[in-house]
Structures are given as C-alpha cells and as structure tokens.
Amino acid sequence: MNHWQVDKSWTLFLDRDGVINERKFGGYITSVDEFKFQNGVLDAFSLFNDTFGNIIVVTNQQCIAKGIISIDQLELIHEHMKNEIKSAQGRIDAIYIAKEHKGEPPFDRKPHPTMAIMAKENYPRIDFNKSIMVGDTDSDIEFGKNLGMKTVLILSEEVTKSTPDISINNLGELCDYL
C-alpha cells in the first residue's frame, strides 16, 4: 500500500518501552529477564530492514539517573534486544538514550529533539521530513511532530492527548500500513 511512499531514503525512529518491548507501567525494565518483545515485533523488524535506510531507537531511561539500573545493565538489555532482532533478520542501526531525570538538564529526553539531532550528526542522510516516529506516549508523538516527522501512536493503557498521523496496536500493523 505504502501510504507515505516510504523507501530506503526514509528513517524509522522507534521508542523502546511499549513499542519494541512490553512496557512495565509504574516501573522499569531492569534486566534481560524482564525484557519481553511485543507480539509481532521481530517479524516487523525483518520487514523494516528491507524498507528503511536507517532504524534508530530513541528512549527515555530516567531509571539511570534514579540509580535503579546502571548504564552497564542497560547496555546488556540493549545488546540482547539487538541480538534477537538480528537473529530475526532485522537490525537497529543506533540507540540513543536520555538518562536524566524528567525536566532536568541536559534536556535530551523526548519531546526535546536532542536524540534526533545526535542521530542526524551520525547519519547525515537522515531527513526528518522522510522519517517516522513510533511511540506510545505524548512525548514520543510531540518529538516526531517537532521535527516534521510522520507520527505513529502505539495504543496502550497510556492516556494520550497528542494527535498522531495514525494510531495502531503494534508494529505489525505499521508493516501492513506501509
């Protein structure tokens, strides 16, 4: 169908919790054992691999600033995630993490554009007008809108006020839409 004329010149930006893996409402994913992929995610990554030029994860992880999890523990979770996706014939090109407390400097957290700007510095061919941001919160949708991206909301128990371009139940539905 390809509603947005997506091709290899496009970039896919993804939130992590609630998009790639099951979100732990009221808490944080602190170990590989707690990290559970959402239904259909691994199949979706296999399709995204052939569709997008870049696949970037942008994730707010204030659990680092709160001392709940170390950066090393977070790296182990991300290595597991990338390895499982790679085994399913998918890929993640980069992961950008905002580690600070909500509302505190350096203001890397979504909806601030910092993580996208860092991605563009590392991948200069990124064009935000040819990018899609997929998330499950208002800050994810505002992040994408602030940069001129198409926005996709993954529906969950999270109450949102932002208006995305489309709302879906999981990444598999994004594959069907594209």
Domain boundaries defined on the chain: 11-177
In whole angstroms, give the CA distance from residue 112 to residue 96: 13
pLDDT of residue 157: 86
CATH-assigned architecture of domain 11-177: 3-Layer(aba) Sandwich (3.40)
Local structure of 175: helix, strand or coil: helix
Choice among 17, 108, 136, 140 that is catalytic: 17
* Cβ atoms < 10 Å from Cβ of 87: 9
pLDDT of residue 102: 82
Show Cβ contacts of residue 178 under 8 Å, excluding neighbours closer than 6 positions. Answer: 1, 2, 3, 4, 6, 51
- pLDDT tens for the chain, residues 1 to 178: 568 899 999 999 999 999 999 999 888 999 999 999 999 999 999 999 999 999 999 999 988 999 999 999 999 999 999 999 999 999 999 999 998 888 888 889 899 999 999 999 999 999 999 999 999 999 999 999 999 999 999 999 888 999 999 999 999 999 889 8
- Catalytic (active site) residue 93: no
Question: What pTM does this model have?
Answer: 0.95
- Catalytic (active site) residue 15: yes
End-to-end CA distance of the chain: 6
In whole angstroms, give the CA distance from residue 87 to residue 107: 34
Choice among 7, 15, 43, 108 that is catalytic: 15
